[in-house]
Structures are given as structure tokens and as C-alpha cells.
């Protein structure tokens, strides 16, 4: 069988699910939600005075102008959830790097400001759009399956399809964070 042939059923060079051996996939992400309202700006995420800080230092200042103690509560594996137009304003790349340094593993929103979703992906943090992020509340346990295109709230049972994952976006995500 030539290298590169797709196989099903676990025979040959495939892994049983129709993928090529070694083809990258996005792992299922599970984490605790931190929920915010519509219009969360990059300056709300990372105050402008920290834009030039090293990512770890900046991570300690996340949300400092909203709640000075919030950054200390964020743990590796957490998920940021917001509403409409997440990440407007300048400093999107610095905010994305700080979120990644804090251990945020994914960001979910109803919509992203121009370029903020790409800044997140460049920092290694997947950015997913869903129709009703308000069903995810702070403290809820979330399960994000990019390959299946769903976000599940394990605390309430609610599910949301991921809207912004066409084939090209999934390939970019696999290349950046796939295993």
C-alpha cells in the first residue's frame, strides 16, 4: 500500500479511524470556565501597561483592572468564555500570549474582534465561536472536541456546535496545536 493512502478498520498504515499514521489531531480539551459578558476588550484582559512585559509576568496581571485577584485564581487548563466581539482594541497579541502563559487552553466566544482569534491561535490557544456562550458559567466543567465540532458543558449538559471550524480552520488548528 503506498504511503499516504487512507485506510479504515485499523489495517495497513492507518490507525483505524481513516487517518494516516502520524496525521495530527486536536486533542479533546477539558477545563473549568471563566465566563465574561459581551465586549470584553484586550485592555480588560491585559492592561496596556503590561503589553511589553514577559508573558509570565503579564499572566500575573490578567484582568487586573477588572478584578485584581482574578489572575491568581486562573489555573492551567482553564477556558475563557465571553460574548460578542471578544478582544477588541490594541494589544491582542500580548493579551493572547499572557492567556497562554497563564495556562488558558481555549477561548470560547460568540464572536471575536478582527484578528484576536488569529492572535490566540498564534499563541497556541484555540479560539472557538459558538451561538450561545451564556450557557457556560464560571466554574462549569467544559469539554471541547474540535474534531467533532462541539463544546459540551459537563456541569449542565448543554452542548454548542463550534461555528468557526471549516476544513481550512481545522487544518490550521491541527498544525498549530495538534498531536
Q: Is 61 a member of any domain?
A: yes
Q: Is 10 a member of any domain?
A: no
Residues 6+ apart with CB under 8 A from 135: 153, 156, 158, 160
Global pTM value: 0.87
What whole-number distance in Å separates Cα of residue 106 and Cα of residue 126?
A: 5
Here the cell at position 133 is: 456562550
CATH code where residue 140 lies: 3.20.19.10
- Per residue of the chain (179 residues), give pLDDT as tens: 333 333 333 333 344 454 455 689 999 999 999 999 999 999 999 999 999 999 999 999 999 999 999 999 999 999 999 999 999 999 999 999 999 999 999 999 999 999 999 999 999 999 999 999 999 999 999 999 999 999 999 999 999 999 999 999 999 999 988 88
Q: Is 16 a member of any domain?
A: no
The tally of domains found in the chain comes to 1
Here the cell at position 89 is: 482594541
Q: Is 2 a member of any domain?
A: no
Q: Is 103 a member of any domain?
A: yes
3-state secondary structure of 135: helix
Count of residues making up the chain:
179
Which structural domain, as residue segments, surrounds residue 138? 29-177
Q: Is 151 a member of any domain?
A: yes
Amino acid at each position: 500500500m503506498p504511503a499516504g493512502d487512507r485506510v479504515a478498520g485499523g489495517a495497513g498504515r492507518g490507525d483505524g479511524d481513516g487517518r494516516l499514521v502520524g496525521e495530527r489531531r486536536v486533542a479533546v480539551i477539558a477545563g473549568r470556565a471563566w465566563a465574561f459578558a459581551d465586549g470584553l476588550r484586550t485592555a480588560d484582559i491585559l492592561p496596556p501597561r503590561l503589553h511589553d512585559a514577559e508573558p509570565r509576568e503579564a499572566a500575573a496581571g490578567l484582568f487586573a483592572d477588572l478584578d485584581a485577584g482574578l489572575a491568581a485564581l486562573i489555573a492551567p487548563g482553564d477556558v475563557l468564555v465571553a460574548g460578542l466581539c471578544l478582544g477588541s482594541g490594541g494589544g491582542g497579541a500580548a493579551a493572547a500570549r499572557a492567556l497562554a502563559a497563564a495556562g488558558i487552553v481555549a477561548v470560547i466566544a460568540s464572536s471575536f474582534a478582527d484578528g484576536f482569534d488569529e492572535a490566540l491561535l498564534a499563541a497556541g490557544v484555540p479560539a472557538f465561536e459558538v451561538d450561545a456562550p451564556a450557557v457556560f458559567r464560571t466554574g462549569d466543567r467544559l469539554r471541547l472536541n474540535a474534531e467533532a465540532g462541539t463544546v459540551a458543558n459537563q456541569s449542565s449538559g448543554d452542548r454548542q456546535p463550534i461555528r468557526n471550524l471549516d476544513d481550512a480552520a481545522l487544518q490550521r488548528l491541527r498544525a498549530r496545536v495538534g498531536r
